[in-house]
């Protein structure tokens, strides 16, 4: 099964994607984490990627497609994946369709998490991430606080604020989203693959609730 997680940066795609991964038994791939892994390795590709994401801009289609397709060819992806943060553009989506078609596969569903820009900014600037690459647990200083300030509950590592989670970068990321990714939502809607979930930060609906809703929809589908 191949699932696409769509939504603005900070809408909860990663959290819900990981929960679905555990329930469905297929791997979750975050393009953001994939790209940041190259940044940590440095080298020419890492420096090129950093020059884009540090400013809140998208990694160019050609490079993004190359790195994601390389990841999808690894053995742990043979039963399907949940893709979080890719594709970001219609061109990337079309190239992904071509890649999957060559491997006799296809996208089964595109899940869109809908959240207002105001709620997104409030979420992201208060987001903290575990610095341990083997953990990467996500927290929020308002509604998902760590038990000990600045320390990950799961592994005890330091919590950090990513450079691309600072307000100026978030505003640029939202601008980029509206310019490119809204067309992507229409692309999957026109293919009758879109399932949208509306989220209000004050509604009390948790990531667990969203994941269960999506899972129920998949079972019924």
Q: Would the pTM of this model clear 0.85, i.e. be above it?
A: no
| Catalytic option among 8, 13, 123, 128 | 13
In this model, does residue 38 exceed pLDDT 90? Answer: no
Which range is least confidently modeled, 40-49, 69-78, 80-89, 92-101? 40-49
pLDDT at position 81, please?
A: 96
pLDDT at position 124, please?
A: 87
127 is catalytic: yes
Structure-model confidence comparison of residues 159 and 11, the more confident one: 159
| Catalytic option among 94, 144, 162, 189 | 162
Structure-model confidence comparison of residues 68 and 182, the more confident one: 68
Strand order in the sheet with 127-130: 138-140, 127-130, 159-160
Q: What is the pLDDT of residues 90-110, one digit of tens each?
A: 999 999 999 999 999 999 999
* Sheet strands (E) in 32-178: 81-84, 109-114, 127-130, 138-140, 159-160
| Catalytic option among 71, 88, 128, 136 | 88
36 is catalytic: no
| Catalytic option among 36, 127, 128, 136 | 127
173 is catalytic: yes
128 is catalytic: no
> Is the omega angle on the peptide bond into residue 170 within 30 degrees of 0, that is, cis?
no
DSSP states of 160-185 = E--GGGSHHHHHHHHHHHHHHHHHHH
Residue recorded with tokens 């970001």: 88
* CA separation for the pair 189, 187 (Å, rounded): 5
pLDDT at position 204, please?
A: 67
Q: Which helix (H) or strand (E) covers residue 188, if one does?
A: helix 167-190
In this model, does residue 27 exceed pLDDT 90? Answer: yes
Percent of the chain with pLDDT over 70: 98
Give Cα separations from 30 to 17, 18, 83, 128, 170 (angstroms).
Answer: 9, 9, 6, 17, 18
| Catalytic option among 18, 123, 128, 173 | 173
* Sheet strands (E) in the chain: 2-7, 27-30, 81-84, 109-114, 127-130, 138-140, 159-160, 194-198
Which range is least confidently modeled, 4-8, 116-120, 140-144, 190-194? 140-144
CB-based contacts of 185, cutoff 8 Å, min separation 6:
6, 110, 112, 194
């Amino acid at each position: 099964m191949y699932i696409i997680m769509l939504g603005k940066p900070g809408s909860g795609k990663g959290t819900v994607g990981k929960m679905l991964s555990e329930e469905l038994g297929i791997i979750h791939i975050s393009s953001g984490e994939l790209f940041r892994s190259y940044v940590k390795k440095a080298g020419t590709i890492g420096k090129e990627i950093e020059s884009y994401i540090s400013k809140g801009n998208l990694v160019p289609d050609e490079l993004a497609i190359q790195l994601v397709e390389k990841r999808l060819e690894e053995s742990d992806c043979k039963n399907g994946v949940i893709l979080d943060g890719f594709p970001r553009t219609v061109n990337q989506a079309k190239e992904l369709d071509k890649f999957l078609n060559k491997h006799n596969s296809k996208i089964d569903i595109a899940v869109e998490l809908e959240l207002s820009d105001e709620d997104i900014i409030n979420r992201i600037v208060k987001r903290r991430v575990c610095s341990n690459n083997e953990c990467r647990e996500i927290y929020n200083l308002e509604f998902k606080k760590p038990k000990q300030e600045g320390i990950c509950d799961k592994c005890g590592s330091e919590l950090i604020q990513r450079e691309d989670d600072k307000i100026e970068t978030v505003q640029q990321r939202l601008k980029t989203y509206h310019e490119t990714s809204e067309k992507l939502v229409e692309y999957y809607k026109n293919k009758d693959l879109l399932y949208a979930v509306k989220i209000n930060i004050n509604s009390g609906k948790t990531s667990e609730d969203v994941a269960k809703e999506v899972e129920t929809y998949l079972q019924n589908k």
